[in-house]
Amino acid sequence: MIIYKTRREIETMDRCNRVVGQILAALAREARPGVTTLDLDRKAEEMIREAGVKPAFKGYRGYPCVLCTSVNEEVVHGIPSPRKVLREGDIIGLDFGVVLDGYFGDAALTVPVGRVSREAADLMRVTQESLQRGIEAARAGGRLSDISAAVQRHVEAGGYSVVREFVGHGIGTSLHEDPQVPNYGAPGAGPVLKEGLTLAIEPMVNVGDPAVRIHPDGWTASTVDGSLSAHFERSIAITENGPLVLGGALEGM
């Protein structure tokens, strides 16, 4: 069931996502050679306490941390670890969310660790652009798959592939609400986009084949062929004036 939000609820979600954006921006600056992914998780937990909000991910279906850290060929849901040390040339996906006054915020970005290859930089750029294309397609009166098609069109025009196993989602008083938002498909299908609909749009894009595998930890997903992957995500609301990016502009996006 799709749950539409009131203006007041959207205002709360905007405040929530602003906290998410501020913490993500700080984490992006901390992603340097020699830092472990667990260091980033601990930093995120410290900032959650300082902000007076609750973590969205820790404890969700048993997930053990407040942050997802996915390095290089890891697509999503990488679990922070003291053994995962960032190195010059890595890219790292930071996926993060909080709860404020009963509403969830959720966003992600992929950032370079020091100087990265042209291949990695181009992948991140195209993935971020595909997110923007998806957001631009999220207009009242359109269809849900207009978002999906806009993402896929841009990704594949750049020579990359879209991950199929994971999708975006509705968001509100639950982290994952209806509807699911695939990053692929033909336009003009699915539910009509209406004012008050809040969505987390999140392209996951691979340099190589779209297939992924799940690690024995039950969470971390990596590309089957070992190619690089990038992930960007923003939560938005459908309004009469077009898509509203909740939390406003995010540093690096």
Q: How many CA atoms lie within 13 A of 13 on its CB side?
A: 31
Whole-number percent of the chain with pLDDT over 70: 98
Question: Residue 43 phi/psi, 5° resolution?
Answer: -65, -45
Q: Is there a cis peptide before residue 216, judged by omega within 30 degrees of 0? A: no
- As a residue count, the chain comes to 253
Tokens found for residue 171? 């968001």
**pLDDT exceeds cutoff 90 at 252:** no
**Helix, strand or coil, per DSSP, at residue 233:** strand
Which residues, in sequence order, are CB contacts of 118 under 8 Å at separation 6+? none
Residue 251 has a pLDDT of 64
Per-chain mean pLDDT for the chain: 97
Mean pLDDT within 145-174: 98
Mean pLDDT within 230-250: 94
**pLDDT exceeds cutoff 70 at 139:** yes
Measured between alpha carbons, how far is 117 from 87 in angstroms, rounded to an integer? 13
Give pLDDT tens digits for 32-62. Answer: 999 999 999 999 999 999 999 999 999 999 9
Q: Residue 114 in contact with residue 89, Cβ under 8 Å?
A: yes
N-terminal to C-terminal alpha carbon distance within the chain: 31
Whole-number percent of the chain with pLDDT over 90: 98
**pLDDT exceeds cutoff 60 at 202:** yes
**pLDDT exceeds cutoff 70 at 125:** yes
Residue 150 has a pLDDT of 98
Measured between alpha carbons, how far is 222 from 191 in angstroms, rounded to an integer? 31
Domains along the chain with CATH numbers: 7-245 (3.90.230.10)
**pLDDT exceeds cutoff 70 at 70:** yes
Side-by-side strand order, sheet with 161-162: 161-162, 204-206, 229-231
Tokens found for residue 179? 């509807």
Residue 253 has a pLDDT of 57
* pLDDT class of 158 with cuts at 50, 70, 90: very high
